Chains A and B, each alone.
Chain A
């Protein structure tokens, strides 16, 4: 039984948490049902003439368009590329759809496009098709971008939550919550100076390919932590694998300004969005070596082991807190709102 649906869409339906899942399960999936969509992964993998084709799509609606450490263009490239990469796919091509609000400065658009071009080059993908639509003033938030990504999964690569075993270790590629905090700080009405608070927007394909090459078979499953943050990904993975996770809060790196902002606003950095961080579940015997390997990459310098897979209630993620107590992590519910008073 669920709470009352008001009968119209709320911002929280797009937060990547429980309401987004409800919408998928109750509305989209029944209408479009097929075996690929049913897997509800970050990307779909379809066989095509002997090749395993990976396809994903994502739309980007971030305000402000430019934020410390990134902009909507970079986000639109890396977000989609990362969804392909964590499935074990080699990203190859992108399409880009632009929905532009009348009045957007051409210079801003040029900056976004330039940034996309640089990001695509860095991620090793080509943007091969696109579309432009303009909506009247007031009917868009400056600029929305949709990207669709296509890649291929090399032979031998098998990843998925079903491969997760008790005893496996949980690895995160870097500090969490940077993107969510950087954007939150800039939101109208909050007015925080954000020096040192920079989005973690980055491509993950390099890290992923390195792990897969070094530890074939020992890497069970990967996910990128985006909306909903680290906690939501952990709960999703635990649920999908039917296992219980044990996590150590003290092992999870949260950068100082991120923690500062989250404390001021009373929000939880474990639920703040990331745009360049992945969670990998790896076999225990390679866990230390996998962290060492990731740390040799600029985007993985602060990679860390944060917990283990256990026998236990499926989907339960229990975290030992910094104070030594325990706390159960749940899916993000609703929007994270500043808890002020």
Chain B
């Protein structure tokens, strides 16, 4: 429902606007929904607004997790516990709140 694409902040302008690079296409978008963005940072852009900062460290960890899950395909069943791909709780702030009962 909500198409957002990764973009890199190229230049910050007054009035909370910024020029972003969306895979070689440039456009001015609003950065008013994010605290203190910096040039060079990656953000997710939706309908002319940067709505999230993209976290490279998290992206790498997700890819690593993906590789571990993919490797499960060839393990004999007995060796797969504890499962490395088990979803972690949603994060420190939500550890109590959003994880299961």
Contact of B24 with A197 in the complex, beta carbons under 8 Å: yes
Q: Tell whether A27 is near chain B: CB-to-CB under 8 Å.
A: no
Contact of B24 with A256 in the complex, beta carbons under 8 Å: yes
Please tell me the number of chain B residues within 8 Å of chain A, measured between CB atoms.
14
Task: With A193-B19, A340-B47, A341-B2 given, name 18 new contacts (CB 8 A).
Answer: A191-B27, A191-B28, A192-B26, A193-B27, A195-B24, A195-B26, A256-B24, A257-B24, A260-B5, A260-B24, A260-B25, A261-B25, A263-B5, A264-B5, A264-B22, A264-B27, A339-B3, A341-B3
**5 A-B pairs, CB-CB below 8 angstroms?**
A193-B25, A256-B23, A257-B23, A257-B24, A257-B25
Q: Tell whether B45 is near chain A: CB-to-CB under 8 Å.
A: yes
Chain A: CB-nearest residue to B23? A260
Q: Tell whether B1 is near chain A: CB-to-CB under 8 Å.
A: yes
Contact of A341 with B47 in the complex, beta carbons under 8 Å: yes
Which residues in window 171-216 of A have CB below 8 A to B?
A: 185, 191-197
Q: Tell whether A266 is near chain B: CB-to-CB under 8 Å.
A: yes
Main secondary structure of the interface of B (DSSP, over half): strand
Q: Tell whether A223 is near chain B: CB-to-CB under 8 Å.
A: no
Contact of B47 with A259 in the complex, beta carbons under 8 Å: no
Which residues does chain B contribute within 8 Å of A195, judged by CB atoms?
24, 26
Which residues does chain A contribute within 8 Å of B25, judged by CB atoms?
185, 192-194, 196-197, 257, 260-261, 264
Task: Report which of A185, A193, A194, A259 forms a contact with B23, defined as CB distance below 8 A.
Answer: A259
Which residues in window 1-33 of B have CB below 8 A to A?
A: 1-3, 5, 19, 22-28
Contact of A263 with B1 in the complex, beta carbons under 8 Å: no
Which residues does chain A contribute within 8 Å of B19, judged by CB atoms?
193
Contact of A193 with B3 in the complex, beta carbons under 8 Å: no
Which residues does chain B contribute within 8 Å of A256, judged by CB atoms?
23-24
Chain A: CB-nearest residue to B7? A264
Which residues does chain B contribute within 8 Å of A192, judged by CB atoms?
25-27
Chain B: CB-nearest residue to A263? B5
Contact of A193 with B26 in the complex, beta carbons under 8 Å: yes
Interface string of A121-163 (1 = CB under 8 A from B): 0000000000000000000000000000000000000000000
